[in-house]
Amino acid sequence: MASLHFILCGIITILLQIFFIREFVPIFHGNEFSIATVLANWLFATGVSSYIFSHIKNKKDNKKKLITLFLILILLLTLSFVFIRSINLLTDTDITEGISLKSSVIFAFISIAPIAFVVGLIFGLLNKNIFKKHKNALGNAHIYESAGFVLGGLVFSFFLSSISTSILLSIIISLIFVNLFLLFKKRAFKLLTVLLLLFVIYVIENYTTFIENSTILNNYKSSENIEVSYFDNQQYILTESNGEFAFYKNGILNFAVPSPTIYEDDDFAHLPILYHDNPKNILLIGGVKYLPSITKFSLDSIDYIDLDEDVIAMLKNKISRFSYILSDDKIRVYNVNARQYLENSNKKYDVVLIGLDIPINTATNSFYTQEFFEIAKNNLTENGFIALKLPGAMVYSDQLMSKLNASVYNALNAVFKSVVIIPGTQNILIATENIIPYRLDLKKRLRDIEYETFVLSKYYVDERMDTQKTQWLKFQLDRLGNEKLINTDKNQKAMIYSIMYWQSAFSPFLMKFFQTLIDYSYMFMLIPVLLFFSVRHTYKITAFVAGASSMWLQMICFWAFQIYAGHIYKWFGLLIAIFMAGSFFGITYAKYKYKTSPLNKTFFRSEIVYLLWIILCFVVIQFQKLNWIYILIFLFGTGFMTGLQFFQISKAYSIIRERYSQMKIYSSDAFGGCFASGLGGAFLIPVWGIEKSLLFILFFKFLVFAWWGHKNKHGL
């Protein structure tokens, strides 16, 4: 029975992590930091609970305690859901405008830590039951837990990624009731559990839409009506108030009708197209709000790419303006990944417009990198242009804005022969393999559509492209060594500076401190050395490094998957399932393979293999173009090595201490994972890039290898 509880708790745990990631993605405006923050808080709280549990000696009446903890878990989960959906009501913040990272981290800790703490205690009690009832049960808990993670991750990714959060929450609560049903002995309590479970199913059937929309309205206070859609585990919201519409993706305002930025929209939709002498085929990637202006040109075709088909259907049904425009015969909508579409398409375009928001997350940043520009270059006609926009300023450009623009400008300059930047409140960057036309040519082409635009005229074009302004902005981009900044897939400079630019509105001092950390980030290499020579508990520090290595490599795989395959939020459950499947086989192999070999020798060998595995990952990333297959192989292999080492260190510690004390190993492993999620996933991996961050964990692991190499000379 304990094994079934572990499997169910494994499913509940992965679904809880997905639940929190889904809820905090809009608060972090779609940034993958949400994954790192959720996992760091989760692992910290479970590490604390495991440490506390290892020091509790009186552990009688475990079933009653488990029942109590499951009931507390339901209560905390409900309160956490209401809290996240009521941040605007409970604080002075506005998640639609964005909130500071500091506040986001605090909200995440308040929401996640109590639930993760309770889950950690539940696993501790279940683990003790396994030890009580089964001899040689070491590792069984991890095996059963891994099976639950695999099952839950696969089911969610393939079948549940587009369900509403309210339904996901109801499913988690239903699984908790199943656990309670198995724990209760009295028929009356079992019957009560069944009735409560039926009530949850009734709520799912009839009221989840109401719960979903009414709770989200707490964070969109100015709206009267709201429609919520989930696609690939991401949140899409269309609000309505007094006939005005606003559309949000992951908390970011994509557009509003009537548009508060109509002049900027008209500006970007026209100026880049005027650079081409006779445009016929246009590709717009994101930015549906630009379609009305683009259609004013005499074009043969306009291809628009938006990944979510449900969003297009929502816009057609709710907003008549878009219903009319999207029904135009010359507009073709593709619900595909834009990078993959361009890689596989032979169609040539006169103008490619990147209508996305600033590259504040990896998904958006993938359309501002040198690698993407090389892909797009192959889809341009001989005289074709690519254009995008970034934050700007007419008279002042601070350091963050300069670095953001410079990283993308340099990436364009590395691919195209001619690059021009038009300064303004939003800078427009235009690149081509041909010669940039003169301003006079643009003004001549403007005559055909001048009377249909809001702001464009020959005087506006003169003012917008003033030579002195352009030279001033170019000087800003070249200063302070910015010429070395290039935004690439593996080193996402634009994303980091976009986040810092966005967050500087909330805390300028914090962003200056953050910039200092980036400048001196290589000082973090001292952490492994100081940690190793200041801690005497060798087995605990080994478990810490094992947990840190495991999570660090997972975070690298998460970032790489989002860069090269996309859909990280949809496939997060699958990625965890692949890792835990590897862990399952690793711990099973260790449990039944080595029965007579000295542990120090087997652990030394596994450390050699782990080091070689990290080196292999580095070599592949360095010289091979990544795809989702490589990333899944990396995850499975990392999981296998993690399970292998976790069993070995747990067995060694149970021999020198006592068998129940392996909770201390769980605790050290969890703290290591927290360290890797917080420092690695939320800072060093995006700042250093994938390759350099691999070297950090390789160095960390090498210290453990050196210690076990010395220990290999002696027996236990």
pLDDT at 254: 83
The predicted structure's pLDDT at residue 11: 96
Other beta carbons less than 10 A from residue 467's beta carbon: 9
Q: Are residues 82 and 217 in contact, defined by beta-carbon separation less than 8 angstroms?
A: no
What the block records as the tokens of 661 is 């004390």
Query: What's the pLDDT score for residue 549?
Result: 93
Among residues 266, 286, 303, 289, the alpha carbon closest in space to that of 364 is found at 286
pLDDT for 45: 96
What the block records as the tokens of 454 is: 């809001």
- What are 419's two structure tokens? 């690059």
Three-class DSSP category at 349: strand
**Rounded to an integer, what distance in angstroms lies between the CA atom of residue 347 and that of residue 376?**
11
| Domain annotation for the chain: domains and CATH numbers | 1-221 (1.20.1250), 222-253 (no CATH), 260-489 (3.40.50.150), 520-716 (1.20.1250)
Residue closest to 37 by CA, chosen among 547, 671, 712, 676: 676
Return the exposure string of 425-459: e unless at least 16 CB atoms fall within 10 Å of the residue's CB, then b: ebbbbbbbbbeebeeeebbebbeebeeebeebeee
Which residues, 6 or more positions from 105, have their beta carbon under 8 angstroms from its beta carbon?
37
The number of beta carbons lying within 10 Å of the beta carbon of residue 560 is 25
389: helix, strand or coil: strand
The DSSP secondary structure of 30-92, one letter per residue, reads T-THHHHHHHHHHHHHHHHHHHHHHT------HHHHHHHHHHHHHHHHHHHHHHHHTHHHHSS
Between CA 336 and CA 340 the distance in angstroms is: 8
The pLDDT of residue 51 is 86
Query: By C-alpha distance, which of 619, 662, 611 is closest to 637?
Result: 611
- Nearest to residue 574, comparing CAs of 582, 100, 487? 582
- How far is Cα 607 from Cα 161, in angstroms, rounded to an integer? 37
Q: Map tokens 């000082």 to a residue.
A: 523
> What span, in angstroms and rounded, lies between the C-alpha atoms of 178 and 173?
9
Crossing angle of helices 2-24 and 33-54, in 10° steps, is: 140
pTM score of the predicted model: 0.91
Could you tell me which of 421, 452, 432, 457 has the C-alpha nearest to residue 442? 457
Ranges in the chain, pLDDT < 50: 659-660, 715-716
In degrees rounded to 5, what are phi and psi of residue 683? -145, -70
Read off the tokens for 295.
Answer: 């259609």
Query: The tokens of 293 are what?
Result: 């202006």
- Encode pLDDT of 430-453 as tens digits: 999 999 998 888 888 888 787 777
What pLDDT score does 219 carry? 78
Angle at CA of residue 654, ends 649 and 658, nearest 5°: 155
pLDDT the model gives residue 60: 65
Longest dimension (CA), the chain: 87
Beta strands 301-305 and 281-285 are parallel
Distance CA 283, CA 261 (A): 22
Angle at 126 between CA 120 and CA 130, to 5 degrees: 140
Nearest-angstrom CA–CA distance, 15 and 26 = 18
Helix (H) or strand (E) holding 422: strand 418-422
How far apart are the C-alpha atoms of 477 and 474, rounded to whole Å?
Answer: 5
**Is the bond into 258 cis (omega within 30 degrees of 0)?**
yes
- Sequence-ordered list of residues with C-beta below 8 angstroms from that of 28, at least 6 positions apart, any chain: 34, 37, 104, 251
The interaxial angle of helices 140-155 and 101-133, nearest 10 deg, is 130
**β-sheet with 426-432: strand ranges across:** 331-334, 301-305, 281-285, 349-354, 380-391, 426-432, 418-422
**pLDDT number for residue 716:** 45
